[in-house]
Amino acid sequence: MKDKEFRRSMAVFPMGAVMKLTELSARQIRYYEEQSLIFPERSDGNRRLFSLNDIDVLLEIKDYLSEGLNMAGVKRMIEMKREESEKTAKRALSEEEIRRIFREELLSQGGLAQRNPNAFQAKM
Partner DNA sequence: ATTCTGACA
Partner DNA sequence: TGTCAGAA
CA separation for the pair 50, 54 (Å, rounded): 6
**Dihedral sign from CA coordinates of 21, 22, 23, 28:** negative
Least distance (Å) from DNA to the CB of residue 49?
A: 8
Residues 82-121 that bind DNA (CB under 7 A): none
What H or E segment, with its residue span, contains residue 22?
helix 15-22
- Least separation, in Å, of the C-beta of 76 and DNA? 16
Q: Distance of alpha carbon 17 from its chain centroid, rounded?
A: 17
**Least separation in angstroms between CB 21 and DNA:** 11
70 or 93: whose CB is closer to DNA? Answer: 70
User: 81 CB contacts (<8 Å, ≥6 apart)?
Assistant: 60, 93, 98
CB of 92 to DNA, least distance (A): 27
Beta strands in the chain (DSSP E): 41-42, 48-49
- Segment near DNA (CB under 7 A); pick from 1-9, 44-52, 89-97, 98-106: 44-52
Interface with DNA in residues 45-64 (CB under 7 A): 45-48
Positions that interact with DNA (CB under 7 A): 14-17, 19, 24-28, 30-31, 45-48, 65, 71
